[in-house]
Amino acid sequence: MLRIGITCFPGVGGSGVVAAELGKALARNGHEVHFVTNDVPFRVDELGERVWFHQVTPMPYPVFQSTPYVLALATRLAEVTERYGLDVIHAHYAIPHSTAAYLARMSCECDVKVATTLHGTDTRLVGLDPSYRHIVRFSINESDAVSAVSQNLAEASEADLGLKRPVEVIHNFVDTDHFRPCKCPQLRDMITCGDRELMVMHVSNLRPIKRVFDIVRAHQAVTAATDARLVIVGDGPEKDEATRLASELGIGCKVTFLGRQDDVAPYLGCADLFVMASEQESFGMSTLEAMSCGVAVVAPRVGGLPELVAHGETGTLTTPGDVEALAEAQIALLQDTDRRRAMAEAGRRRAVEWFDTKVVVPRYEAFYARALGRESS
Ligand code: GMT
C-alpha cells in the first residue's frame, strides 16, 4: 500500500478528470490517496478513509500582484507529506504543479518522491514561453519519474524542452463500465426529434484550441445533407460566439448547446457520431469516452489522437482547419449506417482492450514503484 498525494487542476478538464479517476482507482486498489488542490476535484464524489482532500488556501495580500498559489500549494503538499507520511507526490500538469511538488520535496524532512504527468499545453504551449520555460524544464528534470499521456506528447516534450530524462508513455484511461453503449430513448427524445434525427455530439471546454467554430461551420453542410442535429456539451469562452455563428449561418435550430454536464456518459450514449476539430490535442479524453460509449468518431489528425483513433476502423481522422473535409467525413459516416455501427463497435472494443481503467492503472502503480526505486509495488 502506498500513500499518494495528487495535485491537479480540479475544474472541468481532461487532466483533472484523469487525476480524479486515477485517485479513485488507486484507492479501490488499496492505496491511500490525498488530493491537495484548491477545490475538491470534479469527479471526486466521495471522500473517505482512503480518499482525502486537503484544501490549498493562499492568503491574498495587497502588495502581491497576484496571489502566489504555487507557494501555498508547495506548503500544503509539504505539510500533508510530513503529517501522513506520503510516499509519492503525483503532479498532474507540469505548470505549476511539478514545481510546487519539487519545492515540497526539498523542504520536507522525509524521503518523498515526485512523479509528474505531462498533459499537453503544460509543455507544448505555456511551458515553452520564455517566462516559464527554464523552471518548467528544471522541475520536470528534477522529478523522480515523468510520464506523458501519449507517445506524441512524450516525444514532442522531450524535443521542445530539451529534457534530460526519459518520459514514459501512460495513455489516459476510461471506466468502460460507466462509459458504455447505452441508448436512453427518453434522453434522446428530449434533445432531438427522436429517431428521425441523427445526432452529432461534441464535448469540450470550448476554448479556442478546440476550434468549435469549425464544427459549427461544418454542420451547415452536414445538416443540409443529413438533417442531423449538432449537440454541444460543455461551457467555455467560445460558447456565446458559437451560438451566434450558428444563428448567422441559419442553422440555429439544428444546434443545441447543453452547457456543462457533470456526467456526460448518458449523453454520449445517445449520440450517432462524435466530432472533434482541435488544432492540438495531446490525447483527447472526450474522444476516448465517446469510443467507450460505442460511438464512431471524426477527429483531427493531431497530437495523440492517431494513437487513440484507428483511422478507417474506429473513426475518421481529418486535417485540422479543413472545414470541408470535416463536413465530408461526417456526412459519409452519417449516410452509411452499417459502416458507422461497425466503427462504433470497433471503438468500443479498442477502449475496453487498451484504455480501460483496469488496464492502465497498474501501469501507474509500476510507475510509482520506479519513482521509489522499487522494481514492483
Ligand atoms: O491543455 C489543455 O487543453 C487542458 C488539458 C486539461 O487539463 O484538460 O487538456 C490536456 O490534457 C488532457 C488529459 O490528459 C488531454 O486529453 C487533452 O488532449 C490535453 N489538451 C491538449 O493537448 C490541448
Is 308 among the domain residues? Answer: yes
Is 114 among the domain residues? Answer: yes
**How confident is residue 194, by pLDDT bands cut at 50, 70 and 90?**
low
Cα dihedral: 270, 179, 308, 155 (round 10):
130
Question: Same domain for 250 and 117?
Answer: no
- Whether the pLDDT of residue 195 is over 80: the answer is no
Do strands 229-233 and 255-259 pair parallel, antiparallel, or not at all (unpaired)?
parallel
If you measure from the C-alpha of residue 335 to the centroid of ligand 1, how many angstroms do you get, rounded to a whole number? Answer: 31
Question: Same domain for 202 and 334?
Answer: yes
Question: Same domain for 314 and 367?
Answer: no
Question: Same domain for 349 and 360?
Answer: no
Question: Same domain for 132 and 155?
Answer: yes
Q: What is the mean pLDDT of residues 335-363?
A: 98
- Per mean pLDDT, which range of 183-197, 226-240, 252-266, 341-355 is the poorest? 183-197
- Whether the pLDDT of residue 377 is over 60: the answer is no
If you measure from the C-alpha of residue 117 to the centroid of ligand 1, how many angstroms do you get, rounded to a whole number? Answer: 12
Alpha helices in 108-211 (DSSP H): 121-124, 133-141, 151-161, 185-191
Is 192 among the domain residues? Answer: yes
pLDDT at 115: 98
User: Is the CB of 117 within 6 Å of ligand 1?
Assistant: no
Q: What is the mean pLDDT of residues 147-176?
A: 96
C-alpha cell at 275: 466530432
**How confident is residue 95, by pLDDT bands cut at 50, 70 and 90?**
very high
Is 180 among the domain residues? Answer: no
Question: Same domain for 325 and 364?
Answer: no
pLDDT tens-digit map of 34-75: 999 999 998 898 999 999 999 999 999 999 999 999 999 999
User: Is the CB of 285 within 6 Å of ligand 1?
Assistant: yes
Half-sphere exposure of 358 (CA within 13 A, CB side): 5
Is 147 among the domain residues? Answer: yes
Is 35 among the domain residues? Answer: yes
If you measure from the C-alpha of residue 151 to the centroid of ligand 1, how many angstroms do you get, rounded to a whole number? Answer: 14
If you measure from the C-alpha of residue 16 to the centroid of ligand 1, how many angstroms do you get, rounded to a whole number? Answer: 9
Q: In whole angstroms, what is the distance from residue 44 CA to residue 221 CA? A: 40
> Which residue has the CA at smallest separation from atom 12 of ligand 1?
14
Q: Hey, which of 121, 122, 169, 308 would you mutate to test ligand 1's pocket, going by the most ligand atoms within 8 Å of its Cβ?
A: 121
- Whether the pLDDT of residue 371 is over 70: the answer is yes
Using the atom order of ligand 1, give the atom closest to the CA of residue 9.
7
pLDDT tens-digit map of 301-331: 999 999 999 999 999 999 999 999 999 999 9
Greater confidence (165 vs 346) lies with: 346
If you measure from the C-alpha of residue 318 to the centroid of ligand 1, how many angstroms do you get, rounded to a whole number? Answer: 19
pLDDT at 343: 98
**Total domain count for the chain?**
2
Greater confidence (43 vs 345) lies with: 345
pLDDT at 188: 87
Q: Is the CB of residue 201 less than 8 Å from the CB of residue 229?
A: no
- Whether the pLDDT of residue 101 is over 60: the answer is yes
- Secondary structure (DSSP) of 267-294: HHHH-SEEE---S--SS-HHHHHHHHTT
Question: Same domain for 346 and 362?
Answer: no
Is 271 among the domain residues? Answer: yes
Q: What is the mean pLDDT of residues 21-28?
A: 97
Full domain range(s) for residue 262 = 185-354
- Whether the pLDDT of residue 375 is over 70: the answer is no
**How confident is residue 376, by pLDDT bands cut at 50, 70 and 90?**
low
Question: Same domain for 60 and 154?
Answer: yes
pLDDT at 358: 97
Question: Same domain for 123 and 225?
Answer: no
Question: Same domain for 222 and 350?
Answer: yes
Do strands 168-169 and 32-37 pair parallel, antiparallel, or not at all (unpaired)?
unpaired
Question: Same domain for 207 and 127?
Answer: no
Q: Is the pTM of this model over 0.85?
A: yes
- Whether the pLDDT of residue 191 is over 90: the answer is no
Q: Mean pLDDT of all residues in the chain?
A: 95
- Whether the pLDDT of residue 287 is over 90: the answer is yes
- Per mean pLDDT, which range of 123-127, 223-227, 298-302, 317-321 is the poorest? 123-127
CATH number of the CATH domain containing 116: 3.40.50.2000
If you measure from the C-alpha of residue 260 to the centroid of ligand 1, how many angstroms do you get, rounded to a whole number? Answer: 17
Question: Same domain for 163 and 220?
Answer: no
Consecutive H or E run containing 117: strand 113-118
Is 178 among the domain residues? Answer: no
